[in-house]
Amino acid sequence: MPSNPRTIIQKVWDNHIVAESEAAPALLFIDMHLVHEVTSPQAFAGLRQRGIKVRRPDLTFATVDHSTPTTPRNLPILDPIAATQVAQMETNAQEFGIPYFGFQNRDQGICHVIGPENGLTQPGMTLVCGDSHTATHGAFGALAFGIGTSEVEMVLATQCLLQKQSKSYEVRVDGTLKNGVTAKDIILALCAKIGIGGGTGCVFEFTGSAIRALSMEERMTVCNMSIEAGARAGLIAPDEKTYEYLAGRRFVPKGEKWDEAVAHWKTLPTDEGATYDHSVTIDADTLEPMITFGTNPGMGIAITGTVPDPANIADPLERESLRKALAYMALEAGKPLAGQKIDVVFIGSCTNSRLSDLRSAASVLKGRKVNSAVRVLVVPGSQEIKRQAEAEGLHDVFRAAGAEWREAGCSMCIAMNGDQLSPGQYSVSTSNRNFEGRQGKGGRTFLASPLTAAASAVMGVVTDVRTML
């Protein structure tokens, strides 16, 4: 046992300190900066005003994902405001010499999908992006967190951030997930347990046998929604699965340099005896498929549960929040959510749009038909995932079932690109946020796993997938 045992969170932090002083927060070096069209234009404008360049274009990578349509790529971007924003990203990437997967690039995709897919995300890195779901990259043992546009400009200009260290929070998940229960259900259960503000000021480290048993794609799903439990970042120590996933990817080192990198990565896991500021445990054995009923991701229940009753809540502010959420969702307290009629199913987003998510949804849809009253959108996270899915015939499964098979992007998770709910519609969505209007003004979202989404698509109502396995 080392004399000064440290968590992986502390080690990655320590490895990136450029300067420390009494007078200011630490100056933290950033290894990788992902940039997209929505939160960067004002930052590039700031660089122009200052007359400065991007300090490390080689540690910066851009794509377009939020405002981009998911219709066939030979069609123009019809929304002139979105088209301008996408064109501006292209101009900025060219002018500042930033590597860029543009709208027509065969490798375009959601920034949190293409980072790992191309090996831009690696263990021990500090990785930032002007997007709160940057936590996704923590699945590789990177300290990855979302930043605002002022900080995007800061990183473009200096490759550093002024940061105060967050507290550490161990989320220990032991046991074995039952059939029909997935990584998404782990993270929705955490949000329900500690609430949407539960991890504020903290970085999660997910530990335990159930986390170790997850694939890299499942780990990304868990880390992705750290922000939904209030934490700016969430990470998982790298292991053999991590190295196996990364080996041979485009931007990872090869040969001797690969061996050096792996040797470094193996120093990262939390030392025995290291302590955390906070901790919580979740028992994987008792987890059921989870679904949200309200207007924040902490408002979740097991699919067999009932919608909570505001009358049972003592705190007046909390009671009012729940009452307001149920009014928006037009749901009755005390009733089960299973059986609730739905209009749309969205399978996609940086939470659940990877190949294993699509396989999971397809396993339920194969040989079945989507309910005639339900519109189903399947949106792969990247064009590469789209090709992989098509190579194994998943698109045929989706189409035969009556689902739409679309091009890569954020799509109906954030509803900036024309893919959206109409007022009053209900969706089961594999994305990460059920805030009022998140998937379209007046739309009502139930967050769930790809399995639950696919099962609900077939039945036309919120459905416990275990009845169909």
Residues from 391 through 430 that contact other proteins (CB under 8 A): 414-416, 423
Q: Are 171 and 234 in contact (CB under 8 A)?
A: yes
Per the listing, tokens 């969702």 go with 329
Total interface residues for other proteins by CB under 8 A: 82
The span from the first CA to the last CA of the chain, in angstroms, equals 46
Long-range contacts of 148-154 (CB under 8 A, 24+ apart): 148/39, 149/39, 149/40, 149/42, 149/43, 150/43, 152/33, 152/35, 152/39, 152/40, 152/43, 153/42, 153/43, 153/44, 153/46, 153/47
Binding other proteins (rule: CB under 8 A), the pick from 102, 107, 172, 201 is 201
Kindly state whether residue 151 participates in binding other proteins, applying the rule CB under 8 A: yes
Q: Which is nearer to other proteins, 59 or 448 (CB)?
A: 59
Q: Which is nearer to other proteins, 306 or 321 (CB)?
A: 321
Candidate ranges 42-50, 213-221, 331-339, 386-394; the one touching other proteins (CB under 8 A):
42-50
Token readout for 349 is: 């987003």
Burial of 293 (0-12, 13-18, 19+ CB in 10 A): buried
Residue type (1 letter), 369: K
Closest approach, Cβ 10 to other proteins, in A, equals 18
Binding other proteins (rule: CB under 8 A), the pick from 7, 10, 63, 67 is 67
Closest approach, Cβ 311 to other proteins, in A, equals 18
Kindly state whether residue 132 participates in binding other proteins, applying the rule CB under 8 A: yes
Q: Is 242 helix (H, G, I), strand (E, B) or coil?
A: helix
Binding other proteins (rule: CB under 8 A), the pick from 1, 23, 75, 314 is 23
Kindly state whether residue 120 participates in binding other proteins, applying the rule CB under 8 A: yes
Q: Is 286 helix (H, G, I), strand (E, B) or coil?
A: helix
Binding other proteins (rule: CB under 8 A), the pick from 71, 79, 174, 359 is 79
Binding other proteins (rule: CB under 8 A), the pick from 308, 436, 460, 466 is 436
Helices vs. strands in the chain: H and E counts, helices first: 15, 19
Kindly state whether residue 435 participates in binding other proteins, applying the rule CB under 8 A: yes
Kindly state whether residue 65 participates in binding other proteins, applying the rule CB under 8 A: no
Kindly state whether residue 260 participates in binding other proteins, applying the rule CB under 8 A: yes
Binding other proteins (rule: CB under 8 A), the pick from 10, 60, 63, 159 is 159
Say if strands 300-302 and 290-292 run parallel, antiparallel, or are unpaired.
antiparallel
415: closest CA among 68, 1, 158?
68
CA separation for the pair 115, 137 (Å, rounded): 8
Kindly state whether residue 50 participates in binding other proteins, applying the rule CB under 8 A: yes
Binding other proteins (rule: CB under 8 A), the pick from 98, 220, 227, 421 is 227
Q: Which is nearer to other proteins, 268 or 338 (CB)?
A: 268
